[in-house]
Amino acid sequence: MSDTVIRVEALCKSYDTAAGPFPVLKEVDLAIAAGEFVAVMGPSGSGKSTFMNILGCLDRASSGRYLLDGRDVATLDRDALAALRGRTIGFVFQGFNLLPRMSLEDNVALPLVYAGVERDERRRRARELLAKVGLETYAASLPNRISGGQQQRVAIARALVNRPRLILADEPTGNLDSHTSEEIMALFTALNDEGITVVLVTHEPDIAQFASRQVRFLDGRIVHDGPTVHTPATEPAPC
């Protein structure tokens, strides 16, 4: 892990309100190296979601610097920023965000349409990624014909189709039961083992245990940044 994928320096974010600027992030400093698996945690209103939106170039900081893959995002115009985001980041969301009238294969291939990849290559890559997440036999299915856990696997395949260096996952297990959540996190772990950097927001301590590093926000500041202390799993109480 010799290079840095994410670096933020004195990052601040405020929103304008009727009562004046409302600070959400306050002087945040953080570096994430290639190949790390980082869980971002914190209570509601702590700033973690705003921070992830800035990392994903979905929002801009009010001040400070954000370097993504060595590029200062504040210096990029809209097209250059979209190109950098498209080749560097894969997004996974809590709500899956699959298009209901498109097959799973077409959902996975959609980012390649925007990237101008020709049709046969789009199809080949989509099927390759569906196989990677164990859903190759469902390529022609619609999203409503598969389970929530399977839909999240499709969303992960879509996040990987542009071969990004970094996956940003926002509460990726929030809509899933505990068993399915473990399966999804095992998939993220396998991707991280392949060298992909994974940064995920979660409010669940057991999900954060899959990460090797935990960053906790409180009131817009990082209050903890360190390696995950793994705790032994507890057996459920007998009925």
Whole-number average pLDDT of the chain: 92
Instruction: Note whether residue 238 is domain-resident.
Output: no
- 198 pLDDT above the threshold of 70: yes
The residues, ordered by sequence, that sit 6+ positions from 69 with a Cβ below 8 Å of its Cβ are 5, 84, 88, 165, 166
Instruction: Note whether residue 65 is domain-resident.
Output: yes
- 44 pLDDT above the threshold of 50: yes
The residues, ordered by sequence, that sit 6+ positions from 219 with a Cβ below 8 Å of its Cβ are 26, 46, 47
Contact 213, 36 (CB under 8 A): yes
Instruction: Note whether residue 101 is domain-resident.
Output: yes
Instruction: Note whether residue 34 is domain-resident.
Output: yes
- 1 pLDDT above the threshold of 50: no
CA 139 – CA 86 distance, rounded (Å): 23
Q: Hey, CA dihedral for 155, 103, 106, 138, is it positive or negative?
A: positive
Quick: pLDDT tens for 65-76.
999 999 999 999
Domains identified in the chain, total number: 1
Q: What secondary structure does DSSP assign to 106-136, as a single string? A: HHHHHHHHHTT--HHHHHHHHHHHHHHTT-G
Poorest-confidence range of 79-93, 98-112, 220-234?
A: 220-234
Give strand pairing partners of 166.
89, 197
What is the percentage of the chain residues whose pLDDT exceeds 90?
82
**230 confidence band (pLDDT: 50, 70, 90):** confident
Poorest-confidence range of 24-28, 118-122, 221-225, 235-239?
A: 235-239
Higher pLDDT, 235 or 24: 24
Torsion of CA 191, 192, 194, 196, to 10 degrees: 90
Cα→Cα distances 45→22, 49, 197, 201, 217, Å: 12, 8, 26, 13, 9
**229 confidence band (pLDDT: 50, 70, 90):** confident
What's the pLDDT score for residue 201?
94
Confidence (pTM): 0.90
Instruction: Note whether residue 236 is domain-resident.
Output: no
What is the percentage of the chain residues whose pLDDT exceeds 70?
96
Cα→Cα distances 14→50, 56, 93, 216, 218, Å: 10, 17, 24, 19, 15
Structural domain range at position 131: 4-227
Find the DSSP H helices in the chain: 48-55, 78-88, 104-114, 119-132, 148-160, 178-193, 205-208
- 2 pLDDT above the threshold of 50: no
The CATH number for 47's domain is 3.40.50.300
The total of other beta-carbon atoms located within 10 Å of residue 89's CB is: 24
Instruction: Note whether residue 44 is domain-resident.
Output: yes
Quick: pLDDT tens for 142-190.
999 999 999 999 999 999 999 999 999 999 998 899 999 999 999 999 9
Instruction: Note whether residue 132 is domain-resident.
Output: yes
Instruction: Note whether residue 48 is domain-resident.
Output: yes
First-to-last CA distance in the chain? 46
What's the pLDDT score for residue 94?
83
CB < 8 Å & 24+ apart, contacts of 83-88: 84/57, 85/56, 85/57, 86/111, 86/114, 86/115, 86/162, 87/162, 87/163, 87/164, 88/5, 88/164, 88/165, 88/166
